Amino acid sequence: MSESSKIEWTESTWNPLTGCSKVSPGCANCYAERLAVRLKAMGNPNYKNSFQLTLHENQLEVPLRWKKPRMIFVNSMSDLFHEDVPLEFIIKVFDIMVRSDQHYFQVLTKRSTMLNKIADRLTWPPNIWMGVSVENSNYTYRIDNLRSTSAAVKFLSFEPLLGPIPDIDLNGIDWVIVGGESGPGARKMQKEWVMDIKEQCINKSVPFFFKQWGGVNKKKAGRLLDGQIWDEMPTAYEQQGANQTLQSY
Ligand code: SF4
């Protein structure tokens, strides 16, 4: 439930809830669903409900116990803004993040409408980064929903990138991640889609992180884009020199 992560742009994951349901084409080959089914089969008690939405009150305080600062991806196995998660629980999760100010927290959602609806009820200190996933140009409204929040760091995850996304409004956006889908049935990401987003980021001085090409063998496909690794992080974070934790990980 709370372990070191292989995800390139974070260090650890914290899952005070697990399970979810599909909302858009980016969910079709959901990695969390596949993993939850596997963990249930292995007898992991936290996944006895497989991929059904489950709240884990006993996991709430985990980050408070991690004394060494970490970059933490919140809910890699769910979506905190799922319509069935009570507002009180979301507030509890935010309260823990506020109190664990030794860490950075990365919260990522596809339910930007819900985020937008309740954002004013939440506290947004600098260590909470809020992001939305956008898989193709039909979902750019999520970026507008994110922009209207008071999150100190706002980021976009174009993963799995399933189509071109021209003319992105990057105003107020602090970080962009791009990645292709991986695993069985992975849908192919075109290089020109990636290059176009990279150029848009460069033009607007928005840090760009290229996570992976993806595919059935993601290790082999790697993460070089025209021979270069793109590992940029949000500017405020770089200025604090905090990126050393990630780089030494
Ligand atoms: S929102 Fe995320 S966790 Fe939920 S089904 Fe879609 S991809 Fe999976």
Q: Helices in 80-209 by DSSP H: which ranges?
A: 87-99, 112-118, 141-147, 191-203
Tell me the one-letter amino acid at 155.
Answer: F
**Is the CB of residue 211 less than 8 Å from the CB of residue 177?**
yes
Mean pLDDT calculated for residue range 6-30? 94
> What residues does each domain of the chain span?
2-239
pLDDT in tens, 55-113: 999 999 999 999 999 999 999 999 999 999 999 999 999 999 999 999 999 999 999 99
Answer whether 7 contacts ligand 1 (Cβ < 6 A). no
pLDDT at 246 over 60: no
Q: What is the pLDDT of residues 196-213, one digit of tens each?
A: 999 999 999 999 999 999
Q: Is 22 in the pocket of ligand 1 (CB under 6 A)?
A: yes
| C-alpha count within 13 angstroms, C-beta hemisphere, residue 149 | 28
Atom of ligand 1 nearest to the CA of 22: 5
**In the structure, what pLDDT confidence band is assigned to residue 5 with cuts at 50, 70 and 90?**
confident
- What's the Rg (C-alpha) of the chain? 17
Residue 68 CA, distance from chain mean position: 21
Atom of ligand 1 nearest to the CA of 77: 3
Q: How far is the CA of 78 from the centre of ligand 1 (A)?
A: 6
Please list, residue by residue across 215-238, b when 16 or more beta carbons sit within 10 angstroms of its beta carbon and e when fewer do.
Answer: beebeebebebeeeebbbbbeebe
The residue ranking higher by pLDDT, 180 or 238, is 180
